[in-house]
Structure 1
Amino acid sequence: MKKYWMIVAVLLLSLAFGSSVQAEDKEMYVDVSVATLWSEPDQARELDAPSLSNPVDMWEWTESMTTEEKIWLVGELQTQALYGQKVTILEEDGYWVKVAVESQPTPKNELGYPAWMPKNQLADERRYSVMKKNKPFALVTKPTVFLYDDKKKSQEFKEISFNTRLPVVAQAGDMVLVATPSDAMKWVNSNDVSIYNHEKNIPDADGKDLVETGKQFLDLPYLWAGTSGFGFDCSGFTHTIHKAHGITIPRDSSVQAEHGTPVEKENLQKGDLLFFAYDEGEGYVHHVGMYIGEGQMIHAPNSRSTVEIIDVFESDYYSSEFAGARRYID
């Protein structure tokens, strides 16, 4: 409780003395490990304080919630954005800003997925912006990794998520120096990242690649709206796995089900996305998983569970709601 009120005090001071987010600053960068975006401003509970601060503490937040407290988030949250990711400000409301998250396609907004987040979790560092556009980037390939203040890793700076992308400044032995949105340069272990000059240089993935990437997250607890190594929802999982391989697909399962290449059940291959809908597969698409071969699917099922593998067509529930499959790889 003490920590919560300290956060509230900081927020009130921010409102009283102004913020770095100005009305004319349309493009900003996420300045926390993971920004959690809400359907409306001022809906968060006291227990959500670790996700609203800067820095955030994602493990404290997710591991402190009961199942019922996690279920409450359904509909209250929309998506997440990762450290250093660009967003476009659409609207401001006191301490909150409505943003569109770049590279999360949705029919809701052509600029990206729209939702609300605390403005103190954004940075507007011009030098970072230039480096983001012009430097190679380090792509985090492990579920979560640490950035360090020094090359010898004597001081941890921040734990960041899979699929985070930060501009590369230099490489020295087994360490990589990267730029951050507001804290200058930090170091990351070269074994935890892959470096590319541009997203188009990410090697083409096949189904086996997608499946192996997804299996890294087995037993990770589900988080509604999650798109990170700290927790996924069903479509956040499939969206992020593809994105880490340079493939941009829609953010939501209902939209993922409308794009890509349709695949018949008898022609399923590893990496294909399987969709499930109400009314015995004829209604609204509400779930997505990834086919991994031999009748099995890996998915993030619901707030009561973790990322898991199931025999999908032997499940009465999933087989009865199967609504088709789509492929997003060649």
Structure 2
Amino acid sequence: MNKYLSNIIIILLLGLFLAVSYLYVPNSVYILNQKIEKSQPLQQDEARQNLVSEYGQYLAKNLPENTPKLYFYWLSNQRKLSNIRVKQAIAEIKSEQVVSGKIKAWTLLNMGVVIKTNSKIIAIDTANLPFSQAHNELARITDVFLVTHLDGDHFDSSLLKKAIANNKKVVLPEGFLFDSSQSENIIKLNSGESRNINGVTITAYQTDHRGDGNFNDPSVWFKIKTDGFTLLHTGDGRDFKNKNEANKVYQAKDYDILLGNILLHPYNIRDLKPHLFIPLHLFKFMSGNDLYQQSTIEVVQSNYQNYTKDLQGINIVYLLPGEGFTYPAEN
């Protein structure tokens, strides 16, 4: 009997430890979040640079060299800070009144972006971290979800199922495996195909994945037209399967906003010639410290500075997760 009680006590203590370690948020997380809340993305002064550096160093702390194990997300301050940033951004998205003639983009995690006009909310590649439900409110407030490919940092089946349950539209590349594929709210696009979905025109273009030359798996760039704005989201794609489609994309030069992977070469950004470029896949802590160190704002910014002449005339805005930017910029 005593052994049985001892085992019960051990299990209860273990459960208590797990609950506390998951729920406890250290003061350092709140302090850093408050600093970000007081900062503005367009500020390029010393205070902003110090904040960007502090954020990067905070996420790097105790980050494993390679892809973190699941228990990392249960315990880590990276998840706890990210949850706060995402939830605050979604609350802002929900309440923000975007006036006609403006569009606002919020970056969440990895390549997750939410864009809002005075009539539409569109989410692209939004996905929860393991053991997190921070993005779930998007399922109720978003009009259209887009997913570029199947990687877990871009695709969250649980979130999409919630969206479908809320009668939201989900746009995927043709060939995308998703077990709710019979739903009338799921639209699959072939490469080069355009579809008008509730007033949003979306075109998909088949690419490889990070330049691997594999065009068999669904992976696309999305061109999005809504409320007089044209946007391009690149996902993890680099090279196009269809060269005619590639020429069409690059020759358009009508992009208000390029939501682009930091792996895009500056020459590609130059040739697309967007008015505004928002680099995505910054702070890749889900990939471990090795890739993380290549994805900080300082490293990416330093790379682009080597191509200042090529990128002339393109406004580059670096957003910390959870920050938003209004286009055209407010005076």
Q: TM-score under structure 1 normalisation?
A: 0.29
Structure 1 or 2: larger helix share? Answer: 2
Q: TM-score under structure 2 normalisation?
A: 0.29
Structure 1 or 2: larger strand share? Answer: 1
Q: Which has the larger radius of gyration?
A: 2
Q: Flag the structure with more relative contact order, 1 or 2, with Cα contacts below 8 A and sequence separation at least 6.
A: 2
